[in-house]
Amino acid sequence: MQDGTTASGAFDTDVLILGGSLLGVELVHQLLRRSGRAMPRFTVVDRLAKHDYIPLCHERLTARLTVEESTLDTQTYVTSHGGEYVVGEIIGLDPERRTVTLASGRTLRGRTVVVALGSDVAPPPRISAEGSSGRGESAPPTRRTEHPTGLKFARELAPVHAALLALGDRAARIAVVGGGISGCELAGELAVWATDKKDVTVTLVQRGERLLEGLTPFVSRAALRVLKRQRVDVRLGCSMQIDADGTARIHGHDEMSEPAFDLVIWSVGVTPPPIARTLGLSTDAQGWLRVSPTLECLSDDAPSALTHAGVFAGGDIVQIYEGSTPIRAMRRAIEAIVQAGAIAKNVLTLLGAKDEASGRTALRVYRPLRDFPHGVSLGARSLLVLGPICFDLFAFTVWFRRFLMWRYLARYAPRR
Ligand SMILES: Cc1cc2nc3c(=O)[nH]c(=O)nc-3n(C[C@H](O)[C@H](O)[C@H](O)COP(=O)(O)OP(=O)(O)OC[C@H]3O[C@@H](n4cnc5c(N)ncnc54)[C@H](O)[C@@H]3O)c2cc1C
């Protein structure tokens, strides 16, 4: 693996990292930490040059947190450490040649490739007049809603922020759809934003019978209590209905007796990015990339080899498989960060091996985290969730999560 060329041509870089968000940037950090002066050549490709701090995007939405204080200049961090940073849209990958193609027509070839293209926060595929707001429902489509959809990076946040401002001081009804962690955090944040606004109501619409369905009923009840105390109107067992003319109402209640919503924000559904299916790598039924416990990409075409040599993936985009069994792993920042360390080790092992075959047998197996505490910011209050129980810590978690953001920005500060 040590040779920089092959019969079919030279490599542009040693480590080609596709995606420079949480996994990508931590991978650079880990490679630098582990290889010191012998740092391999590395290139990061992402459509974004800067990255917003995703866990606090609800605070960005209401401008409680400014863009300046919550944005990472990823490109400058990478280039300050001698890496190449390419801003561009990835449209294809040839895993055998380890060559990526960008929309600009440029191609880049790596001795190793790491796919870290994350996930999408997708709106429901269809919003039906019959009141279907969930994914995978087959009710007849009317049209896509014009109300804003999932939030993650600045390009999704900006139009929703503008829509909030456009409400001005008039009486307004805002709905957040989805009672998972992001939806609850968003509803709580909007409740804080609406405190000094006359006649603005915030409604949280959840299809299930409880909030935070991924956590225990005890935590669900605590979240419900905290949100209600801040006058969030929580509707359980309901779904949002968007009519053909864009009118938004809750389905499942006495719809016509309530005025329509002025703004609906969708906070449902983390889905694989559509590009995952077009990379020539194996995907599962949902569309996540299938990787082995060494975080190498699995191949549908090469049952004997099973994995694509030198092609790794991690973060939200992957589902780890042991044989044909999926292994539970969280789609969270902490999981991406820990995976980045494991991938860095394996990439360096492969690059340092005398040949590919011996390098691959020396790769380490990654064990996903079992669980990790959750800090759930609910507007002016917050919960710290430890397994089955939680503590209402007033605003402590809100500030602690800001502290974590400062640590994140400091960790990837450009070298001076
Ligand atoms: C609203 C929200 C709140 C969250 N809060 C928390 C939290 O509090 N705590 C926590 O632990 N986790 C949280 N998460 C989850 C966490 O953000 C993800 O687990 C983490 O971002 C995964 O990192 P990643 O690098 O795998 O992918 P992503 O962060 O999704 O990054 C993927 C990168 O790939 C780039 N990309 C994708 N496709 C292309 C393409 N075709 N061409 C070029 N570039 C491309 C994107 O621009 C992006 O930079 C939250 C997620 C969301 C959406």
Q: How far apart are CA 215 and CA 390, in angstroms?
A: 10
In angstroms, what is the span from residue 25 Cα to ligand 1's centroid? Answer: 11
Contact between 113 and 18 (Cβ < 8 Å): yes
Every domain of the chain with CATH number 3.50.50.60 lies at 5-47+88-119+272-372, 154-268+374-398
Q: Out of 17, 21, 176, give the residue to mutate to test ligand 1, the one with the largest number of ligand atoms within 8 Å of its CB.
A: 21
Please state whether 323 falls in left (phi above 0), alpha (psi between -120 and 50) or beta.
left
In angstroms, what is the span from residue 152 Cα to ligand 1's centroid? Answer: 7
**Given this model, what pLDDT does residue 269 score?**
78
Model confidence, pTM: 0.91
CA nearest to 390, candidates 269, 214, 229:
214
Q: How far apart are CA 235 and CA 216, in angstroms?
A: 19
**Given this model, what pLDDT does residue 243 score?**
81
In angstroms, what is the span from residue 158 Cα to ligand 1's centroid? Answer: 17
CATH number of 154-268+374-398: 3.50.50.60
Contact between 146 and 246 (Cβ < 8 Å): yes
Q: Quick check: CB of 177 below 6 Å from ligand 1?
A: no
Q: Quick check: CB of 315 below 6 Å from ligand 1?
A: yes
**Given this model, what pLDDT does residue 328 score?**
84
Q: How far apart are CA 231 and CA 290, in angstroms?
A: 43
CA nearest to 65, candidates 174, 161, 200, 204:
161
Q: Out of 332, 338, 404, give the residue to mutate to test ligand 1, the one with the largest number of ligand atoms within 8 Å of its CB.
A: 332
Q: Quick check: CB of 54 below 6 Å from ligand 1?
A: yes
Q: Quick check: CB of 90 below 6 Å from ligand 1?
A: yes
Kindly report the protein residue whose alpha carbon is nearest to atom 3 of ligand 1: 55
Q: Quick check: CB of 30 below 6 Å from ligand 1?
A: no
User: Can you give the pLDDT of all 416 residues of the chain as single tens digits?
Assistant: 655 454 445 999 999 999 999 999 999 999 999 998 899 999 999 999 999 999 999 999 999 999 999 999 999 999 999 999 999 999 999 999 999 999 999 999 999 999 999 999 876 654 433 333 333 333 333 333 456 677 888 888 888 899 898 888 889 999 999 999 999 999 999 999 999 888 999 999 999 999 999 999 999 999 999 999 999 999 999 988 888 788 888 886 665 678 889 999 989 878 999 999 999 999 999 999 999 999 999 988 655 458 899 999 999 999 999 988 999 888 999 999 999 999 999 999 999 999 988 998 999 999 998 889 999 999 999 999 999 999 998 888 889 999 999 999 999 999 98
DSSP string, 254-305: -GGGSPPBSEEEE---EE--GGGGGSSS-B-TTSPEEE-TT-EEE-SS-TTT
Q: What's the CATH class of domain 5-47+88-119+272-372?
A: alpha beta
Q: How far apart are CA 90 and CA 43, in angstroms?
A: 13
Q: Quick check: CB of 398 below 6 Å from ligand 1?
A: no
3-state SS class at 319: strand
The 3 state secondary structure assigned to 192-234 is HHCCCCCCEEEEEEECCCCCCCCCCHHHHHHHHHHHHHCCCEE
**Given this model, what pLDDT does residue 416 score?**
85
Q: Quick check: CB of 329 below 6 Å from ligand 1?
A: no
**Given this model, what pLDDT does residue 132 score?**
39
Q: Quick check: CB of 117 below 6 Å from ligand 1?
A: yes
CA nearest to 205, candidates 256, 150, 252, 259:
252
Q: Quick check: CB of 273 below 6 Å from ligand 1?
A: yes
**Given this model, what pLDDT does residue 148 score?**
66
Q: Out of 26, 43, 44, 46, give the residue to mutate to test ligand 1, the one with the largest number of ligand atoms within 8 Å of its CB.
A: 46
**Given this model, what pLDDT does residue 340 score?**
98
Q: Quick check: CB of 183 below 6 Å from ligand 1?
A: no
Q: Quick check: CB of 371 below 6 Å from ligand 1?
A: no
Q: Which atom of ligand 1 is nearest to the CA of 334?
A: 11
**Given this model, what pLDDT does residue 196 score?**
87
DSSP run (H or E) holding 57: helix 57-61
